């Protein structure tokens, strides 16, 4: 790596979640270590940073939200400039970014629900888990009210998102008062009529995608009974867990089989070997039909031909996330990612088009690059791969220098885009913490939900 090729590098990153922030930090460290200099602008469509850490992690999980502290340190260092409330593709195009920067990195993540193609899935009362998560996390672009007026609800999926959704649905609002939950969400949960939450997985207990901590927490929710069925454990006899994590989770599940009912006012039912076939109902959700499955020798499951109906009035599908297309960026509709090879964006509609040329200076990282799999740690290694290619492309002279001078903020001002800044986020952060400190139920913070209110508070601290 030579310093001369990395002098005065200018890079735009689109998306201020963990993927974008890690990419900026890794790029800065790589360039500085080589004796070069880099200026990074981090664009975000929301007024505040942190992406799914702020708007995708349940409010009763402060341990995971602690990641924000390290992300804050990276942005507060001053080497990356945060530019929020800017929608790339609407307020400014990718072409305009490429004219102003040596490279553009897409880190927009995956915020939409993956489809579940079964009859009745679009009936009123059927929802994507991502929408519900966005609501209880106070996302500014979803309705502030959520109707929870039915007693029996179903969650389809066996991953951590499904578990988060089920836990929030089953949990009593009083046990969320000490979290950073928004007031409108707390009011909605306090009015909930839910008594029974059913979680359905297509595979068996040995194939769950939860983590031991999340599963253990589920059994510690106050005034909620966990219900499992003995028949779902019949195939576990003689099974040797593949790792200690699975061993712990199976031990937790097995303990719930002998756990006596406490007469709790709410129940959380875990169903395994259930493959969804149809959402039942005419005008709205009235039930769910499943086919029982069984394990095969190759580790998969197959249908048994036995069907079961469950009378539920709401359905939440948590079968995965799907990337949101970035306007003017090649997108693989099947995979739900920006078409790329190891982070270099390709001029193609599928990532499988190996002959398609890469677009010089355009990169991707995080879930929009590889799909919605893996934990935060994977995001770091993922960013290292992308940044490695970016740096090597700079050194090899493959990138074109910016053709337009001037500060991008001047362009946004001309277009009357109400962008927010890092100083603005610090003001909003302080405001939310003050709301929490002064709240009837003292909290670390109370989220401000409306976008215009977030922007007004942030813009009030704007330093030009």
Q: Where are the alpha helices (DSSP H) in 221-365?
A: 244-257
The alpha helices in 292-407, defined as continuous H runs, are: 367-370, 376-395
Q: Are 322 and 337 a contacting pair, CB within 8 Å?
A: no
Residues 161, 167: Cα–Cα separation, whole Å: 10
Span 406-430, pLDDT tens digits:
999 999 999 999 999 999 999 999 9
3-state secondary structure of 209: strand
**What pLDDT shows up at residue 462?**
56
The pLDDT score that the predictor gives to residue 463 is 45
Angle CA 49–58–19, to nearest 5: 35
Residue 100: partners with Cβ closer than 8 Å, 6 or more residues away: 10, 12, 402, 404, 406, 408
Cα separations (Å) of 350 from 95, 106, 329, 332, 346? 21, 17, 12, 5, 9
pLDDT at 461: 62
* Domains of the chain, first to last: 4-111+323-419 (3.40.50.720), 113-321 (3.50.50.60)
DSSP state of 92: B
Ranges of the chain whose pLDDT falls below 50: 1-4, 463-464
Q: Quick one: pLDDT at residue 433?
A: 93
């Amino acid at each position: 790596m030579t310093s001369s090729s990395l002098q005065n590098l200018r890079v735009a990153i689109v998306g201020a979640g963990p993927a974008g922030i890690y990419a900026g930090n890794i790029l800065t460290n790589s360039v500085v270590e080589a004796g070069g200099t880099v200026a990074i602008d981090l664009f975000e469509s929301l007024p505040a940073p942190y992406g799914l850490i702020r708007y995708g992690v349940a409010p009763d999980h402060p341990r995971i939200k602690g990641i924000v502290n390290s992300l804050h340190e990276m942005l507060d260092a001053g080497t990356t400039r945060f530019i929020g409330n800017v929608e790339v593709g609407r307020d400014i195009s990718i072409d305009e970014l490429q004219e102003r920067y040596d490279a553009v990195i897409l880190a927009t993540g995956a915020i939409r629900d993956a489809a579940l193609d079964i009859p009745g899935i679009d009936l009123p009362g059927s929802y994507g888990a991502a929408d519900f998560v966005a609501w209880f996390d106070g996302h500014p672009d979803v309705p502030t009210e959520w109707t929870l007026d039915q007693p029996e609800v179903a969650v389809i999926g066996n991953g951590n998102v499904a578990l988060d959704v089920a836990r929030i649905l089953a949990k009593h609002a009083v046990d969320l008062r000490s979290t950073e939950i928004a007031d409108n969400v707390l009011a909605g949960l306090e009015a909930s009529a839910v008594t029974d939450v059913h979680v359905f997985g297509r595979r068996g207990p040995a194939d769950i995608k939860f983590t031991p901590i999340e599963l253990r927490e589920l059994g510690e929710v106050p005034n909620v009974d966990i219900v499992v069925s003995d028949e779902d454990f019949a195939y576990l006899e003689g099974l040797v867990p593949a790792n200690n994590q699975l061993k712990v989770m199976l031990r937790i599940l097995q303990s719930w089989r002998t756990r006596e009912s406490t007469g709790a006012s709410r129940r959380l039912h875990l169903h395994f070997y259930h493959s969804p076939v149809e959402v039942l109902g005419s005008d709205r959700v009235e039930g769910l039909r499943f086919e029982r499955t069984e394990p095969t020798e190759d580790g998969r499951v197959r249908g048994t031909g036995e069907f079961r109906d469950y009378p539920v009035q709401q359905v939440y599908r948590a079968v995965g996330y799907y990337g949101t297309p970035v306007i003017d960026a090649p997108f693989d509709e099947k995979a739900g990612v920006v078409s790329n090879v190891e982070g270099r964006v390709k001029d193609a509609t599928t990532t499988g088009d190996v002959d398609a040329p890469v677009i010089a200076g355009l990169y991707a990282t995080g879930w929009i690059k590889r799909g919605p799999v893996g934990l935060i740690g994977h995001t770091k290694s993922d960013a290292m791969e992308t940044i490695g290619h970016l740096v090597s492309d700079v050194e090899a002279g493959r990138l074109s220098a910016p053709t337009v001078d001037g500060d991008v903020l001047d362009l946004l001002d001309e277009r009357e885009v109400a962008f927010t800044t890092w100083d603005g986020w610090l003001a909003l952060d302080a405001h939310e913490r003050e709301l929490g400190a002064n709240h009837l139920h003292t909290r670390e913070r109370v989220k401000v939900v409306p976008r215009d209110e977030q922007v007004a508070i942030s813009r009030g601290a704007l330093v030009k």
